[in-house]
């Protein structure tokens, strides 16, 4: 028996695991107490790594769909068919006729992170999509425009803060996001133990709200009004603290913001949010009075109608209250591999736009909410073929039914994925990589977002099965086969191994840690607490923070001019500790117990509609309707309902062993693909207008 150490690749928290292995079988998975960062923390999902490894549903050989039947084929054949078909489509319909969608595990999977970019570049298509635009795009946009690089995303220094304001995040369940922080629970308690406070603003009294000192219910989609009101109070009452940051800002911009907020009042904010003026004032004063404070906003504000503005406003609030770039505030990391190392230059935003709706490109990608229409709408530049990797957009992107229809209409589709699931069932070829414990790990993206600087590489725990390929090998082979069709022998790109790529990547960093050195430390290397880094770390040309970039000015004016309207019943999402977006649901111990895909509703809203606990109800939106069991609970704010995303495993043609009772419905069959943040193009997955009926009544209505 051997004990091996590896970082968990399932979420952003980077927990170190200690794994007992015998004869290539996992005996146990525990937290690694010696891990320099996570110090033994683990969550219930970690054991799913064993289930994933042993899952009989996992595909092990390439699959080819011929006349509707799946056949297992060789890697050589699969790679060659794929390259040829993609090439043929581009020859006939242009480079942009091939689109690519990359999902969330792309950033948790070292091979994909290091090798997919070259293949994507080789394809030369402007139709690139990813989970970013259903998630954290607005954070990157604020990084790009305010700090000069999309990967300069400030992280809340929760190890040292005295006041943590959480808007639209549930880190007790998500384990933190754009804030890599194993063991949020104990870190939250430590804030309280040192006399600090945690305040949660959320339309649902969440698991995090339960642990906080205060919870404020807020009407979904209205956080921007709350943050602006806080800014307004700070500016009007001169509660600013600019000492620390004075060399890095232009004070004239503060006057400009003050001017822009002239027509806006705290009363407006109270009307919109449902948070009283007194609560807003108290919150703002407490935030400013704390020795250090940090406002942190996550998915409940990122992927909403004003997601773009929200992250500008959150950064600005932290900056003007003296809570940026100092311990306990919002800080930037000093990672061994710095994703923001490139020089500042032309902004990577709106360089092109989506064909049908004209939504803006950002960072080389288009908003995923436009993918279905870009496939379905005939005309010049129509998407005819699709590559998906590490993604399940049918369940994860708004209007999944429309994506089903779109994927069905393609001339060719290839999916790099370990399952035959809701998305990959539409493919002609599935290329299944070795995964999970069979792969090495390095948190390329997440050390850049971690609340403490560290660096760690883990070797694979188990060998990959004979005849299987890693994601990086698949990308490498695909690229070579594709280039052979498009380039001469001398022009072919050089090929590297994963180890060579890691070595090159680390050597570009400034930590001085080499790959050889890193491999000697299976529990990681501690690089110390977050450090103040202004103005050196800024990538703006003038080495100043841009407090009020032009792109935010008109949207802000528009928002302030817009009357505040009553929007009826609004749907928001919900995560669970034993779930990971749309997958892991065929690990029995992850789904067992009472089915969790239910609709939560406030008792008054239920009473108004004659709904009682356990009723099957119909939830109807502009794009669809679904039947779901109602759970009546005062943990919801009146006027809002909550449904988790990533379920709906009852589409035909998949190969997943998920019991009927745990299939659930897909929230994204109700989320409107036409609703995006006009500024950033991010999908509006929270605050979706819906109607809810008891089943019998709706049957009459439909």
Ligand X SMILES: Nc1nc2c(c(=O)[nH]1)N[C@H]1C(S)=C(S)[C@@H](COP(=O)(O)OP(=O)(O)OC[C@H]3O[C@@H](n4cnc5c(=O)[nH]c(N)nc54)[C@H](O)[C@@H]3O)O[C@H]1N2
Closer of 135 and 635 to Mo ion (Cβ)? 135
Strands lying side by side in the sheet with 16-22 = 2-7, 16-22, 25-31
Whole-number minimum distance, CB 575 to ligand SF4, in Å? 12
- For residues 128 and 120, is the Cβ–Cβ distance under 8 A? yes
How does 196-220 read in b/e, with b if 16+ C-beta sit within 10 Å? bbbbbbbbbbbbbbebbeebbbbbb
- Closest C-alpha among 313, 156, 122 to residue 226: 313
Return d(Cα 550, Cα 564) in angstroms, integer.
Answer: 24
Closer of 215 and 456 to ligand X (Cβ)? 215
**DSSP string covering 434-495:** B-GGGS-EE-TTGGGGBSEEEE-EE--SSPPPTT--BHHHHHHHHHHHHHHHHS-GGGSPP-
In the window 75-104, what residues touch ligand X (CB under 6 A)? 103-104
- For residues 18 and 32, is the Cβ–Cβ distance under 8 A? yes
Return d(Cα 579, Cα 584) in angstroms, integer.
Answer: 6
Whole-number minimum distance, CB 695 to ligand SF4, in Å? 36
Which two three-digit tokens encode residue 466? 């004979």
Q: Which residue is closest to ligand X by CB?
A: 300
In the window 186-245, what residues touch ligand X (CB under 6 A)? 201-204, 206, 218, 220-221, 223
Closer of 135 and 672 to Mo ion (Cβ)? 135
* CA distances from residue 535 to 142, 332, 443, 511, 527 in whole angstroms, order as listed: 17, 11, 26, 19, 21
- For residues 515 and 454, is the Cβ–Cβ distance under 8 A? no
Could you say which of ligand SF4, ligand X, Mo ion, none residue 182 binds, taking C-beta under 5 to 8 angstroms by partner kind? ligand SF4
Return d(Cα 329, Cα 321) in angstroms, integer.
Answer: 10
Could you say which of ligand SF4, Mo ion, ligand X, none residue 8 binds, taking C-beta under 5 to 8 angstroms by partner kind? ligand SF4
Return d(Cα 150, Cα 147) in angstroms, integer.
Answer: 8
Q: Distance of alpha carbon 319 from its chain centroid, rounded?
A: 24
- For residues 44 and 578, is the Cβ–Cβ distance under 8 A? yes
In the window 590-619, what residues touch Mo ion (CB under 5 A)? none
Which of the stretches 111-119, 127-135, 532-540, 691-699 binds Mo ion when contact is defined by CB under 5 A?
127-135
The answer to whether 170 contacts ligand X (rule: CB under 6 A) is: yes
Could you say which of ligand SF4, Mo ion, ligand X, none residue 323 binds, taking C-beta under 5 to 8 angstroms by partner kind? none
- For residues 361 and 374, is the Cβ–Cβ distance under 8 A? no
Whole-number minimum distance, CB 141 to Mo ion, in Å? 16
- For residues 200 and 214, is the Cβ–Cβ distance under 8 A? yes
Could you say which of Mo ion, ligand X, ligand SF4, none residue 298 binds, taking C-beta under 5 to 8 angstroms by partner kind? ligand X
Whole-number minimum distance, CB 13 to ligand SF4, in Å? 4
Closer of 298 and 539 to ligand X (Cβ)? 298
The answer to whether 12 contacts Mo ion (rule: CB under 5 A) is: no
Is beta strand 98-102 parallel, antiparallel or unpaired with respect to 155-156? unpaired
Closer of 14 and 599 to ligand SF4 (Cβ)? 14
| Residue 5 parent element (H or E) | strand 2-7
Could you say which of ligand SF4, Mo ion, ligand X, none residue 671 binds, taking C-beta under 5 to 8 angstroms by partner kind? ligand X
Return d(Cα 663, Cα 322) in angstroms, integer.
Answer: 48
User: Which residue matches tokens 């525990």?
Assistant: 30
The answer to whether 150 contacts ligand X (rule: CB under 6 A) is: no
Which of the stretches 264-272, 411-419, 555-563, 608-616 binds ligand X when contact is defined by CB under 6 A?
411-419
Could you say which of ligand SF4, ligand X, Mo ion, none residue 42 binds, taking C-beta under 5 to 8 angstroms by partner kind? ligand SF4
The answer to whether 685 contacts ligand X (rule: CB under 6 A) is: yes
The answer to whether 175 contacts ligand X (rule: CB under 6 A) is: yes
Could you say which of Mo ion, ligand SF4, ligand X, none residue 202 binds, taking C-beta under 5 to 8 angstroms by partner kind? ligand X
- For 114, which DSSP code? H
Return d(Cα 113, Cα 510) in angstroms, integer.
Answer: 20
Could you say which of Mo ion, ligand SF4, ligand X, none residue 4 binds, taking C-beta under 5 to 8 angstroms by partner kind? none
Among 135, 373, 605, 672, binds Mo ion (CB under 5 A): 135
The answer to whether 667 contacts ligand X (rule: CB under 6 A) is: yes
Could you say which of ligand SF4, ligand X, Mo ion, none residue 169 binds, taking C-beta under 5 to 8 angstroms by partner kind? ligand X
First vs last Cα of the chain: how many Å apart? 61
Which of the stretches 133-141, 264-272, 437-445, 551-559 binds Mo ion when contact is defined by CB under 5 A?
133-141
- Residues 295-324, one symbol each (x = binds ligand X by CB under 6 A, - = not), give ---xxxx--x--------------------
CB neighbours of residue 47 within 10 Å = 19
Could you say which of ligand SF4, Mo ion, ligand X, none residue 370 binds, taking C-beta under 5 to 8 angstroms by partner kind? none
Helix (H, G, I), strand (E, B) or coil at 423: coil
Could you say which of ligand SF4, ligand X, Mo ion, none residue 201 binds, taking C-beta under 5 to 8 angstroms by partner kind? ligand X
Residue 490 neighbours by CB under 8 Å, 6+ apart? none
Give the E-state strand segments of 279-335 in sequence order.
294-297, 330-331
Closer of 49 and 386 to ligand SF4 (Cβ)? 49
Closer of 313 and 390 to Mo ion (Cβ)? 390
Which two three-digit tokens encode residue 20? 């007992």
Closer of 30 and 638 to ligand SF4 (Cβ)? 30
What residue ranges bind ligand SF4 (CB under 6 A)?
8, 10-11, 13-15, 42-43, 45-46, 175, 182
* CA distances from residue 391 to 131, 137, 297, 655 in whole angstroms, order as listed: 8, 17, 24, 16
Closer of 223 and 361 to ligand X (Cβ)? 223
Closer of 540 and 686 to ligand X (Cβ)? 686
Closer of 53 and 85 to ligand SF4 (Cβ)? 53
CB neighbours of residue 150 within 10 Å = 23
Binding residues for Mo ion (CB under 5 A):
135
Binding residues for ligand X (CB under 6 A):
11, 103-105, 109, 131, 134-135, 167-171, 173-175, 177, 201-204, 206, 218, 220-221, 223, 298-301, 304, 389-393, 396, 416-419, 421, 433, 435, 471, 572-573, 575-577, 579-583, 645-646, 667-668, 671, 685-687
């Amino acid at each position: 028996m051997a004990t091996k150490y590896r970082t968990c690749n399932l979420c952003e928290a980077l927990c170190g695991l200690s794994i007992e292995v015998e004869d290539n079988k996992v005996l146990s998975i525990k937290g690694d107490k010696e891990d320099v960062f996570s110090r033994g923390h683990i969550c219930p999902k970690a054991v799913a790594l064993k289930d994933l490894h042993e899952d009989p549903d996992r595909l092990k050989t390439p699959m080819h769909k011929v006349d509707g039947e799946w056949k297992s084929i060789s890697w050589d054949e699969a790679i060659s068919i794929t390259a040829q078909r993609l090439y043929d489509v581009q020859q006939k319909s242009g480079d942009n006729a091939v689109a690519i969608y990359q999902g969330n595990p792309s950033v948790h999977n070292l091979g994909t992170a290091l090798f997919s970019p070259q293949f994507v570049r080789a394809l030369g298509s402007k139709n690139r999509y990813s989970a970013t635009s259903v998630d954290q795009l607005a954070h990157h946009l604020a990084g790009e425009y305010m700090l000069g690089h999309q990967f300069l995303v400030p992280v809340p220094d929760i190890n040292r803060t005295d006041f943590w304001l959480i808007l639209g995040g549930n880190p007790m369940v998500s384990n933190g996001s754009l804030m890599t922080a194993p063991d949020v629970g104990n870190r939250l308690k430590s804030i309280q133990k040192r006399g600090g406070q945690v305040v949660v603003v959320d339309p649902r009294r969440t698991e995090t709200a339960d642990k906080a000192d205060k919870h404020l219910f807020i009407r979904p989609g209205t956080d921007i009004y709350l943050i602006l009101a806080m800014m307004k109070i700070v500016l009007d009452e001169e509660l600013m603290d600019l000492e620390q940051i004075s060399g890095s800002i232009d004070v004239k911009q503060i006057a400009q913001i003050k001017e822009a907020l002239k027509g806006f009042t705290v009363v407006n904010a109270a009307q919109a949010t449902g948070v009283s003026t007194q609560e807003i004032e108290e919150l703002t004063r407490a935030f400013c009075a704390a020795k250090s404070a940090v406002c942190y906003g996550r998915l409940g504000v990122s992927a909403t109608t004003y997601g773009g503005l929200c992250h500008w406003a959150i950064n600005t609030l932290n900056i003007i209250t003296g809570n940026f770039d100092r311990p306990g505030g919002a800080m930037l990391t000093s990672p061994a591999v710095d994703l923001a190392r490139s020089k500042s230059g032309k902004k990577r935003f709106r360089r092109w736009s989506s064909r049908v709706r004209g939504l803006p490109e950002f960072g080389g990608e288009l908003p995923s909410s436009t993918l279905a229409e870009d496939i379905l709408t005939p005309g010049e530049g129509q998407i005819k073929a699709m590559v998906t990797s590490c993604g399940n957009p049918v369940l994860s992107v708004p209007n999944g039914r429309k994506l089903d229809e779109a994927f069905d209409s393609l001339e060719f589709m290839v999916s790099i994925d370990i399952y035959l699931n809701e998305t990959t069932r539409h493919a002609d070829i599935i290329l299944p990589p070795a995964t999970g414990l069979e792969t090495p790990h390095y948190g390329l993206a997440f050390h850049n977002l971690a609340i403490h600087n560290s660096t760690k590489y883990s070797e694979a725990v188990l060998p990959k099965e004979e005849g299987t390929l890693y994601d990086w090998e698949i990308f490498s082979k695909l690229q070579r086969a594709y280039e052979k069709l498009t380039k001469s022998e001398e022009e072919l790109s050089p090929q590297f191994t994963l180890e060579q790529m890691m070595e090159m990547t680390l050597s570009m960093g400034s930590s001085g840690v080499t790959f050889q050195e890193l491999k000697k430390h299976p529990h990681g290397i501690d690089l110390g607490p977050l450090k103040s880094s202004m103005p050196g770390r800024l990538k703006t040309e003038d080495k100043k923070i841009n407090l009020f970039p032009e792109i935010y000015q008109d949207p802000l004016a528009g928002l302030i001019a817009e009357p505040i309207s009553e929007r009826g019943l609004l749907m928001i999402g919900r995560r669970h500790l034993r779930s990971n977006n749309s997958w892991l649901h065929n690990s029995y111990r992850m789904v067992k117990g009472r089915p969790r895909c239910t609709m939560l509703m406030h008792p008054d809203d239920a009473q108004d509609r004659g709904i009682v606990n356990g009723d099957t109800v119909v939830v109807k939106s502009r794009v669809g309707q679904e039947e779901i069991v109602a759970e009546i609970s005062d943990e919801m704010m009146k006027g809002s309902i909550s449904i988790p995303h990533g379920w709906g495993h009852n589409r035909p043609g998949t190969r997943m062993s998920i019991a009927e009772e745990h299939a659930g419905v897909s929230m994204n069959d109700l989320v409107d693909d036409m609703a995006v943040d006009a500024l950033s193009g991010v999908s509006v997955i929270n605050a979706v207008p819906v109607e809810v009926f008891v089943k019998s009544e709706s049957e009459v209505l439909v």
